[in-house]
Amino acid sequence: MSRIDVMKTYKLYINGAFPRSESGRVYELKNAKGSFIANPCWASRKDLRDAVVAARAAFGGWSNATAYNRGQVLYRIAEVMQGRAAQFADEIVAQEGLTPKQALAQVEEAIDLMVWYAGWTDKISSLAGAANPVSGPFQNFTTPEPIGVVGTFIEAKPSLTSLVGSVAAIIASGNTAVVIASEKFPLTAITFAEVCATSDVPAGVINVLTGKTPELVGWMGSHMDVDAVDASGLNSKQLTELKIAGADNLKRIHSFKSAKSPERILAFVEYKTVWQTVGI
Amino acid sequence: MTEFEYAPALESTSILNLQSDYNLFINGKYVPAKTGKRFPTINPATGEAIANVAYADLADVNAAVAAARTAYEKVWGKMPAAERGKYLFRIARILQERAREFAVLETLDNGKPIRESRDTDIPLAAAHFFYHAGWADKLDYAGLGANPKAHGVVGQIIPWNFPMLMLAWKVAPALAAGNTVVLKPAETTPLTALLFAEVCQQAGLPAGVVNIVTGDGVTGTHIVSHPDVDKIAFTGSTGVGKAIARAVAATKKSVTLELGGKAANIVYDDAAIDEAVEGIVNGIFFNQGHVCCAGSRLLVQENIQDEVIEKLKRRMSLIRVGNPLDKNTDLGAINSAEQLARITELTSTGDAEGAERWSAPCDLPSKGYWYAPTLFTGVSQTHRIAREEIFGPVLSVLTFRTPAEAIEKANNTPYGLSAGIWSEKGSKVLWTANRLRAGVIWTNTFNKFDPASPFGGYKESGWGREGGRHGLAAYLKGGKN
């Protein structure tokens, strides 16, 4: 008799731990051929709130880490992803219906994308900041700062590059992330969470929820401690719902087409201008 | 000892060519509202009407947007960028030439002291046009990649506290980036915007590039909801800002918002106290406190509180409140009866919630809308006067013991527009500036503005920046700054 595989329990990732949904709910995932793959967690509003609490708590430390340090942590994620390449590829084959070769190509692209963003952390300020020539005895500088807690809804396909492009850009400047995995193809997001847990990413900097996107859009939008949202994975109806709810605290809500763009980083910074009086 | 009194030093209004009725400015011409409806604009220093102004309804807004669209597609959008820039340079120069006329009209319509309209509002407005004129043919270098594009027609809604300056903040970058505009000045201060239309005519600006529709909040909603407006730029209250965000949620409209604030002005015990007191006064009493970035929450280190308050009261007693046209006036009129009622209502909660009120002894004029310079001590963070924007000459004083506590209290607000820091220790100033969650931070100064310096807030103080390279980006596609 052949050996029985040890199947993985796919859980949420909140504050560096892997809890199940407090609601006790799961939903069934089938592969492209219709057979059972897994029962990922069906996250609730309460899980979302726990993730935001964790992300807020992690913001101070992560945003105050040096840009060099953040760059190394992002690079470390890429290193550990490389070791898990086969697992990511298997999940992509099972879910997205790609050939193993195509799936591996996506994994390699995603790893390289993480490396690309790792190199951005200590260059954002030089490029996006400014020394402003004001008329008076002042030194006047504008510098980008992370905006805070950023939620993100991940597109279904390609599941891994979409995820990395969004999350890496969000955390590169010092934000912390609450990730809502694609409802349809969440497996790579959970494995990515396992990578984060072993990659020097401080607990709470990246939190990953799986579940039903329509259920979480409104709660993400109305949460007063979420500062911004990457809405790339939402359809236009969900985007409108998010924007209306998000107006309560004027969330910055952006969607992107390309996974690889500095615009993704710059959309989630705030510009601080400091006037320093010059004199003796 | 003889006390020398100030003699009156009134700025003459003879420079003005006031009309009894003002029209809208659409497609390069002054036209009456289609309904013929008008509303009065009041001199807040007297409570008397200055003139009647056309009230723009939906049909007028439609006409203005259509004119802006045609101008964008036929003229302005096709014009070589350098030529566009030259129009802006012309406007800047004409504003400088007619600066006194604008200053007097602004003071008459708004109630602010002539000293401020003459020395701050109008010179800065001209500077904004001059600064952005130079950007027009250099957009490729604005940090947004090559060949960034204008949005098209921009709807702009501005407040009453700096009518002409806010117009310049909105119109100059919009035109430099190649957009055309439909601008709505505030209901209570429409006159300088209508005078600006004359400047556009003198500059030979093509018809339809700038359109000015006067009216009230309803006029504003017509602009916001107009399907052919590509971008909305709004300065005003956070409540209206949120309503705009909801109104455009289902559209592709781009939006920038400059909203309210409740700025902390932090005074450490190693500050130069006399300079700090001047800064506190400038921070909250500039423009009658009608300033979104006003330093309305004084956070003073506990061990110097008594000294600072005593000096502050002495200094506040010297503030000259009265006729805004008098060149010696420091504090002018409250802009409207409505705003005065709001200040009165909010400050009464200060009394009711247990803060201690002190107002500078001064004679307020019998006509018009006035409020004496006031401070509240013993304010706690839960008091409404510590949380809500009063938008008047009222300072709430809170104390702290440690720098960490100062940061905690300063950031304890849904707003994040501005902040001030007073200390003679450079490293402490920067430590504090790094931790404040606000878009503009003044160290050992306050309420400084410059076209080259980005202005705008964190959190519920708005979306985007105005001024500098970052402000320009808001008027270009691809720019998410």
Find chain B residues with C-beta within 8 A of A243's C-beta. 245-246, 249-250
Residues 6+ apart with CB under 8 A from B268: B301, B403, B406, B421, B422, B423, B425, B428
Q: Which candidate from A127, A240, A252 shows the least CB-CB separation from B463?
A: A252
pLDDT tens for B2-38 read: 778 889 999 999 999 999 999 999 999 999 999 999 9
Of B445, B453, B460, the CB nearest to A132: B453
What angle is formed at CA A195 by the lines to CA A193 and CA A198, rounded to 5 degrees?
Answer: 110
Question: DSSP character for A231?
Answer: -
Interface membership of B319 toward A (CB under 8 Å) = no
> Does residue A32 surpass a pLDDT of 90?
no
How many Cβ pairs closer than 8 A exist between chain A and B?
107
Q: What pTM was computed for the model?
A: 0.96
Positions of B annotated as catalytic residues are: 258, 292
Does B143 contact A136 at a Cβ distance shorter than 8 Å?
no
Tell me, yes or no, if B443 comes closer than 8 A to chain A by beta carbon.
yes
Section B447-465 average pLDDT: 98
The percentage of residues in chain A with a pLDDT greater than 90, rounded to a whole number, is 96
Q: Which chain A residues are within 8 Å of B441, Cβ to Cβ?
A: 272-275
Q: Is the pLDDT of residue B309 over 70?
A: yes
Label the pairing between strands B24-26 and A228-230.
unpaired
Whether B325 contacts B10, CB under 8 Å:
yes
Min CA distance, B157 vs chain A (Å)? 18
> Is the pLDDT at B45 greater than 60, yes or no?
yes
Q: What is the pLDDT of residue A204?
A: 98
> For a pLDDT cut of 70, what percent of chain A falls above it?
100
Asked if A24 reaches chain B (Cβ–Cβ under 8 Å), the answer is no
User: Which pLDDT tens digit goes with each residue over A147-203?
Assistant: 999 999 999 999 999 999 999 999 999 999 999 999 999 999 999 999 999 999 999
Distance, CA of B403 to CA of A100 (rounded, Å): 57
Contact across the interface for B143 and A128, Cβ inside 8 Å: yes
Is the Cβ of A277 closer than 8 Å to some Cβ of chain B?
Answer: yes
Please give the helix or strand (H or E) that residue A145 lies within, else none.
strand A138-146
Mean pLDDT (whole number) for B295-299: 98
Q: Which residues of B touch A271 (CB under 8 A)?
A: 439, 454, 456, 465, 470, 481
The answer to whether the CB atoms of A274 and B465 lie below 8 A apart is: no
Q: Place B481 in a pLDDT band, splitting at 50, 70 and 90.
A: very low
Question: Using 50, 70 and 90 to split pLDDT, how confident is the model at B1?
Answer: low
Contacts with B, A 225-244, CB within 8 Å: 227, 240, 243-244
A266–B contact, CB cutoff 8 A: yes
Between chains, do A249 and B460 touch, taking CB under 8 Å as contact? yes
The answer to whether the Cβ–Cβ distance between B245 and A246 falls below 8 Å is yes
The beta-carbon neighbor of B450 closest among A127, A134, A271 is A134
Model pLDDT for residues B112-140, shown as the tens digit of each residue: 999 999 999 999 999 999 999 999 999 99
B177 to chain A nearest CA, in Å? Answer: 19
Q: Does B323 touch chain A (CB under 8 A)?
A: no
Note the pLDDT of residue B90.
98
What mean pLDDT is reported for chain B?
Answer: 97
A131 touches chain B (CB under 8 A): no
Shortest distance, CA A117 to any CA of chain B (angstroms): 19
Interchain contact, B463 vs A250, CB within 8 Å: yes
Contact flag B480-A254 (C-beta cutoff 8 Å): yes
B245, B443, B448 member nearest A250 (Cβ)? B245
Q: Average pLDDT of chain A?
A: 97
- Selecting from A250, A252, A274 the residue whose C-beta is nearest the C-beta of B441 gives A274
**Residue in B118, B85, B214, B74 with CA at minimum distance from that of residue B157:** B214
B245/A243 CB distance under 8 A: yes
Is the confidence at residue B261, as pLDDT, over 90? yes
Distance CA B168, CA B126 (A): 8
The ipTM is: 0.96
* Residue B97, C-beta contacts closer than 8 angstroms, at least 6 positions apart: none
Q: How far apart are the first and last CA of chain B?
A: 59
Give mean pLDDT, residues B278-282: 98
Beta pairing partners, A141: A131, A274
Cβ-defined contact of B257 to A250 (cutoff 8 Å) = yes
Q: What is the largest CA-CA distance in chain A?
A: 86
Determine which helix (DSSP H) or strand (DSSP E) holds A150, and give its type and residue range: strand A149-153
Q: Phi and psi at residue B23, in whole multiples of 5°?
A: -105, 170
Q: Give CA–CA dist B134/B362, Å, rounded.
A: 46
Q: Is residue A248 within 8 angstroms of chain B, CB to CB?
A: yes
Once rounded to an integer, what is the mean pLDDT over residues B394-418?
Answer: 98
Which tokens is B3 given? Answer: 């006390």
CA neighbor of B323 nearest in space, from B102, B43, B15: B43
pLDDT at B480 over 70: no
pLDDT at position B479, please? 46
Residue A65, chain B, CB below 8 Å: the answer is no
Q: Which residues of B touch A130 (CB under 8 A)?
A: 454, 468-470
DSSP code for B190: -
Strands (DSSP E) along B259-318, which ranges? Answer: 264-267, 297-301
Among chain B residues, CA nearest to A129: B470
Report the greatest alpha carbon distance in chain B.
72
Q: In chain A, which residue's Cα lies nearest the Cα of B455?
A: A273
Q: Which residues of A touch B462 (CB under 8 A)?
A: 250
| Cα–chain center distance at B209 | 23
Q: What pLDDT does B426 receive? A: 96
Q: Is A253 on the interface with B (CB under 8 A)?
A: no
Helix (H) or strand (E) run with residue A180 in it? strand A176-180
* Residue entry with tokens 């918002």: B257
pLDDT reported for residue A33: 82
Interchain proximity B246–A247, CB inside 8 Å = yes
- A132 at interface of B, judged by CB pairs closer than 8 A: yes
Neighbouring residues of B29: CB distance < 8 A, sequence distance ≥ 6 = B207
pLDDT in tens, B49-105: 999 999 999 999 999 999 999 999 999 999 999 999 999 999 999 999 999 999 999
